[in-house]
Structure 1
Amino acid sequence: MKNLLRVFGSKEVSRHANQVGRHLDELFHLTMDRTVRLAVTGLNQSGKTVFTTTLIHHLLHALEGANLPNFSVASENRLLGTRVMLQPDLDVPAFTYERYMRSLLGNKPTWPVPTDALSEIRLAIRYKPSGILSSRLTSSATLHLDIIDYPGEWLIDLPMLQLSFEAWSEQTLRHCEEEPRRSLSAQWRDHLTRLDPTAQATDETLRESARLYTDFLLACKSSKVGLSFLQPGRFTIPGDLKGAPLLTFCPLPPPGAHGVIPGSLREEMARRFESYQKLVAEGFLKRYFSRFDRQIVLLDLLGALNRGPGAFADMRAALEAILGHFRHGPSNLLNRLFNPRIDRLLFAATKADYVAADQHPNLERLLRRLVARSANDASFQGVEIQTQPLASLRCTRTVMREHQGRRLSFVQGTPRGRERETLLFPGEIPDALPEAEDWDTHRFHFMEFEPRRPPDTEGLAPPHIRLDQALEFLLGDKLR
């Protein structure tokens, strides 16, 4: 009996301690404005700009009929309003939400031009608290949401921080031994055979070598090839570094018996590589990446399947390389003040409306398997992880039809580059990582579609797929 009382007492003490902790946390949030820094990024052609634009639009118009049944603060009628605020970082370009939304909601909707630099917008979300203590002490609270939109190409730079110039060169050249990199890099590699790394460095040689290497990276990134693991990221999206000497280097074959000669081309390229590491990759890590609270990583899984095993494997390699640099872990008061870290991470397979609704479970399972290795490491460190198929702006609808005695799911929408809606059978998503025979039969041909004008002429509630679930996972706990 004494042992039972002791166990019961310890459980009661633990339960009351947890309740006290929750109440103290609520009181803390009541005494100061809260801010969540949500980072939005995506690998090649993932629809990052459309996602960020529609997320902002739905938050701003949630009280005007937006369809957000799984976003608890809205479905429970606790949302009091959202508005755009002055952004906190005055030297960061603003995310021009209104311009992007106009292109999506115009008389003839068009997809917005992808962003090629980091940008930011701040929203103030006012709501009624639902906590036991906070709801009694105040009738409303405000969450400041800083959305930081940045190119996934910059994220690819982070693994470079662990490598020397020689190790990075060896890794890149090894990747070029396999297709499609082997064919696409032919001109640049031919240039390397004529190059003497021991010769005196000249601006002309540095610029020409970097130009050929950049052309190779851009060919890899093209919509037809669609590779993701391309370093350095600023070579394909230079931003304010366009034309800077910092972007004039490239990988080189291993040094010969002479080693690294002072003043040589090899020494200068290595010096510029190290400067890129410090000023660009490490600068991004320290100034922005280390300050993120929540992160969503968008993936064009359908596009990778379309482009074949090379693009698909490259996407997986890119994910495994970059995710080790996320600062994962449970968020608490001390972390929030002194050592912020990402405590929720969402992987989203975009363009889910390009396939029929009955294929979404397979799309989610395939995504989960794709990120399983990296997700396991992050989960072990205490981060909450979710995988989800979504469509930021739904531009098709699923239609059931009889075909050769079978009842099949079709999608109806306007294919990319056309003007009339068409009924198409989009194909099926594998529920596991594709095997060799899947690629051999060329079974993946997922069509892309044009945006469709919402039935609401004011555009207050453009249709989506699971955008509200993404909002709930990323922000729901902060709006209670």
Structure 2
Amino acid sequence: MIINDIADGLLRGVEDAQAGLREALFDPVIRLGVTGLSRSGKTVFITSLVANLMERGRMPQLRAAADERITTAYLQPQPDDAVPRFAFEDHLTALTGPEPHWPESTRAISQLRLSLKVRRGNWVTGLGGPRTVHLDIVDYPGEWLLDLPLMEKSFRQWSDEVLAAARDPVRAEHAAPWLAALEEADPARKLDEPEAQRLAAAFTDYLGRMRAAGLSGFAPGRFLMPGDLAGSPALTFAPLPAGATPSGSLAKEFARRFEAYKRLVVKPFFRDHFARIDRQVVLVDALGAIHAGPPAVEDLRVAMTNILEAFRPGPNSWLSAILGKRVERILFAATKADHLHHSQHAALTAIMEALLADAKRRADFKGAQTQALAIAAIRATVEQELAHQGAKLPVVRGRLEDSGKEAALHPGDLPSDPSALLVPARKGAAEWLDEGYSVMRFAPPVLSRAPGEGPPHIRLDRAAEFLIGDRLL
């Protein structure tokens, strides 16, 4: 097995080196990973980014667009034949049609290639004429990233960690049905497949309960996104308490299936997709976590720190094609900034930076460039000021998703000092002492776009400049 892994790695290294040489000699490729945990807006982000790169009238902070050096942008077949295509046209129709609605979330990996024809940025490089830069966007669920740390854990280590976390007061209510099912099981008994399925289903239900409560840190990620693996042995196991593991027992089989999950699910994802990314966007629904309360904020902080551990941040060189690429730039984007008046965007960005401080320092130390931004890939609201108790109250107004009616929202003032949120969250507070934070689900706006304009957004052009601007010079 080890020899096969080494041979497989060397073969892929040679193939990647050949691909890297082709990119250096001909058309450069930027491989951009887009991920985030559930409801963070990956599908909308990719759709709006591509639409705004094709029609660049709303992209003044992307220098190559502002200087009119991007002469054209067009879609091409994605390079990976085994990866589904991101359904850009369907998603754009959903967002910009006569009755706009949010597109269905993608629950598996997908890819899209956008090719940009770019004029050179200075007279020396301009002597070679325009060039084509390919932007390969890889969309994958953030939950899959939470699986990568499993590669370094045994079934026993993973079980102990999950069981300890499940007994934490924050998770105990959600874990109660699963723990009750576990109490009735005898891991040392001979494997009984209906019993194995019952335990796996109870554990999956626990993961689903956590996600519904706004908690982020759960693995294995495929349990809630099984795809064609639904019902397979690789997804039919659960953590077990320590004890004897005789041959043929439930415990022995669950340990074997845990290793199969790593071999069949986690390792191929890392090898075939994740290890080839050189720019990365991590989308975060920070407002949703704040609304859910201190436990969700702390859970999000831990989850995002764990996610960053999966990256290999740092600068790339010509050796990267052989040794494996490193993520050069990572953007941490707090989505749904249009749910706040612009006067609170700085506070949201500061909270985002504080939420990810440990993870960001680790990436910066290893040479990667990182940035935090508050963005809205599609701006669904307009800003207003309403009279309230003798003062002006800044609000946002939009069309509600459930009823279609217009409504104004003031979600509560975010603190200027992020520690006002992060300290109670780290200390295990059950709720905010001062006030809660409201959220509404706004529908996409009915758009009336001028020729050459993509969908309205907030800071999507700044995000694009950070992620790919240096490669468009």
TM norm structure 2 = 0.91
Cα distance in 1 between the residues matched to 2:156 and 2:360: 30
Correspondence for 1:228 among 206, 216, 235: 216
SS in 2 for 1:440: coil
Q: Say yes or no: does 1:139 pair with 2:129.
A: yes
Which residue in 2 is equivalent to 1:406?
391
Contact 1:355/1:446, CA 8 A, preserved across alignment:
no
Correspondence for 1:213 among 192, 195, 203: 203
Deviations 1:313-343 (A, max 9, x none): 1111111112112011112233256531110
SS in 2 for 1:465: coil
Tell me: CA distance 1:369–1:187, structure 2 relative to 1, closer, same or farther (3 Å). same
Deviations 1:354-405 (A, max 9, x none): 0111000000000000111011011011000000000000011111233222
Correspondence for 1:159 among 145, 149, 154: 149
Q: Say yes or no: does 1:312 pair with 2:280.
A: no
Bigger mean CA deviation after superposition, 342-351 or 324-333: 324-333
Correspondence for 1:450 among 425, 443, 467: 443
Cα distance in 2 between the residues matched to 1:122 and 1:28: 17
Cα distance in 1 between the residues matched to 2:199 and 2:457: 45
Deviations 1:208-254 (A, max 9, x none): 111111111112112xx121111110000012211211100000111
SS in 1 for 2:360: helix
Which residue in 1 is equivalent to 2:98?
107
Which residue in 2 is equivalent to 1:250?
238
Deviations 1:275-303 (A, max 9, x none): 11122112211111110010000000000
Q: Say yes or no: does 1:80 pair with 2:71.
A: yes
Cα distance in 1 between the residues matched to 2:414 and 2:99: 31
Contact 1:118/1:150, CA 8 A, preserved across alignment:
yes
Correspondence for 2:324 among 339, 345, 366: 339
TM norm structure 1 = 0.89
Gaps of 5+ in 1: 1-26
Cα distance in 1 between the residues matched to 2:137 and 2:407: 36
Contact 1:454/1:461, CA 8 A, preserved across alignment:
no
* Shift of residue 428, structure 1, vs aligned partner: 1.4
Cα distance in 2 between the residues matched to 1:143 and 1:394: 28
**Could you tell me which amino acid in structure 2 is paired with residue 249 of structure 1?**
F
Identity of aligned residues (%): 40
Q: Say yes or no: does 1:119 pair with 2:107.
A: no
Bigger mean CA deviation after superposition, 454-463 or 66-75: 454-463
Cα distance in 1 between the residues matched to 2:469 and 2:451: 27
Correspondence for 1:464 among 453, 457, 463: 457
Tell me: CA distance 1:60–1:342, structure 2 relative to 1, closer, same or farther (3 Å). same
Which residue in 1 is equivalent to 2:33?
39
Cα distance in 2 between the residues matched to 1:29 and 1:86: 17
Correspondence for 2:185 among 195, 199, 216: 195
Cα distance in 1 between the residues matched to 2:242 and 2:36: 33
* Shift of residue 100, structure 1, vs aligned partner: 0.6
Task: Give the number of equivalent residue pairs.
Answer: 445
Q: Say yes or no: does 1:377 pair with 2:370.
A: no
SS in 2 for 1:451: coil
* Shift of residue 447, structure 1, vs aligned partner: 2.2
* Shift of residue 205, structure 1, vs aligned partner: 1.4
Correspondence for 2:225 among 218, 223, 237: 237
Cα distance in 1 between the residues matched to 2:312 and 2:136: 18
Contact 2:337/2:375, CA 8 A, preserved across alignment:
yes
Contact 1:355/1:427, CA 8 A, preserved across alignment:
no
Q: Say yes or no: does 1:476 pair with 2:469.
A: yes
**Could you tell me which amino acid in structure 2 is paired with residue 215 of structure 1?**
D
